[in-house]
């Protein structure tokens, strides 16, 4: 995941992420972390682990309307035919009610 930039495939019902939200990932060994912003998200951070097939991380964010939120996500990693990555995500808020699924896809280089 190191250096990859992804965006949501669609706006996420019950969440704050949209196609305008950009995720920038870093990775060292099994540790994964990243930063995201755009759309309704002013700034967000994530940190967790990866076994190459799955990401498991916690996230925290600040929205453009000044609200903070935290949650947990588990992503299945799909490598596309052109080498890009697609993440199939199951997430849940810790700080408020709500959960769901989403798809993040790596931008074309």
Which tens digit of pLDDT belongs to each residue from 17-61?
Answer: 999 999 999 999 999 999 999 999 999 999 999 999 999 999 999
Q: Identify the domain containing residue 92 by its residue range.
A: 5-106
Cα separation values, 36 from 5, 41, 80, 82, Å: 9, 8, 22, 24
CATH number of the domain enclosing 95: 2.40.128.30
Of the pLDDT bands very low, low, confident and very high (cuts 50, 70, 90), residue 108 is: confident
Task: Count up the domains in the chain and report the number.
Answer: 1
User: pTM above 0.75?
Assistant: yes
Phi, psi values for residue 19, rounded to 5°: -60, -15
């Amino acid at each position: 995941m190191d250096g990859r930039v992804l965006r949501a495939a669609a706006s996420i019902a019950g969440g704050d992420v949209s196609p305008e939200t950009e995720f920038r990932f870093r990775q060292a060994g099994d540790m994964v972390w990243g930063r995201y912003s755009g759309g309704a998200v002013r700034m967000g951070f994530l940190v967790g682990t990866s076994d190459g097939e799955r990401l498991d991380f916690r996230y925290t964010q600040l929205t453009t309307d000044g609200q903070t939120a935290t949650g947990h996500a588990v992503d299945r990693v799909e490598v596309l035919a052109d080498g890009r990555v697609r993440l199939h995500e199951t997430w849940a808020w810790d700080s408020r009610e709500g959960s769901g699924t989403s798809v993040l896809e790596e931008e074309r280089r």
